[in-house]
Chain A
Amino acid sequence: MNNDACGPSDEEIVVQVLSGNVNAFEQLLKRYQNHVLRIVKKHLPPEHVLDMAQDVFVRVYQSLPTFKGESNFGQWLSTIAARACYDFWRKHSKFREFPLSHFTEKQQVWLEETLSENSNQSFEESIFQREAQEVLDWALERLSAEDRMVLELVYLEGHSVKEAARLLGWSAANVKVRSFRSRKKLYNLLSKQLKGRRRRR
């Protein structure tokens, strides 16, 4: 993704844009639009993805003078995208703009069956996958912006602590502690739902 086979490199395009050829930025847009969309889709609700992807490219454009080429352009852009998503959740969790969904009886049954030893459900089944996404979203919306981002980057995406720290601009120690706590919160949230169901039976 870094460079087209016959086109200029990302770094060359950045130099062109900074020296006044603003239209050259469109090449970077086309080269990286899927990359940015992939990142944003994972972190944000679907209805906010396109606006955020657009915002990420505006931020990238405004920050071009600070790109020193120390990391490759894709990595640098990923950092901007991840931090934009973090800003989104920080802003929204501050004002509690999204109503919290309820953990339904159906989701409780799903969770219990999924975790049982003799579960034979296949993830490929679309219903199963949809339930899993709903349960995940239910838990994530109950976490703070910081816990949410760390959980997504480290626990769900499998980034190393160092990578997640670079993406968020935090210290590795902070990410490590957050990662442990957010995982614990996730398990607590889900286990409480199972406990409630088992008590009722």
Chain B
Amino acid sequence: MSFTKHERERLRDILKRAYRGKENLELGELRWDDLRDSLRSADTIQPMPRFLMVFAQFVWQIAPVVSLLILALTGVLLALDLTSGYDVFQVLMNGREESTLSQMLGI
């Protein structure tokens, strides 16, 4: 069951007035002494330096682009054939006492 338009309007009107009626509750005044104590023990927050605010804004603005870039580079790195480079390195390292300068230079 849902309310008709008329019922919704009437309900809203009544609930709005009930809500506004809360303003008139008599609850007494603020406890000034407690409040003064709380304020005395509270430090005011030092404002963030302007350059830090600009930097913080900048960092968040470029964060999505940087994340995408990291993902893309990871993909590229995984797709590269690293094994062959490693093998060449191993060969060079193992046979280094036999290799001459001319061999290394490919002459």
Q: Are A133 and B3 in contact (CB under 8 A)?
A: no
A-side interface mostly: helix
Cβ contacts under 8 Å, A191 to chain B: 1-3
Complex CA gap A18/B6 in Å reads 53
Q: Are A114 and B10 in contact (CB under 8 A)?
A: yes
Cβ contacts under 8 Å, B31 to chain A: 50, 54
Q: Which of B11, B36, B47 has the most CB of A within 10 A?
A: B11
Please tell me the size bucket of the interface on A: 35 or more
1-28 of chain B: CB within 8 A of chain A: 1-3, 6-8, 10-12, 14-23, 25, 27-28
B-side interface mostly: helix
| B79 proximal to A (CB < 8 A) | no
Cβ contacts under 8 Å, B21 to chain A: 129, 132-133
Please tell me the size bucket of the interface on B: 35 or more
Cβ contacts under 8 Å, A17 to chain B: 44
Minimum CB distance partner of B41 in chain A: A58
Complex CA gap A119/B13 in Å reads 14
Q: Are B44 and A57 in contact (CB under 8 A)?
A: no
Cβ contacts under 8 Å, A54 to chain B: 30-31, 34-35, 38
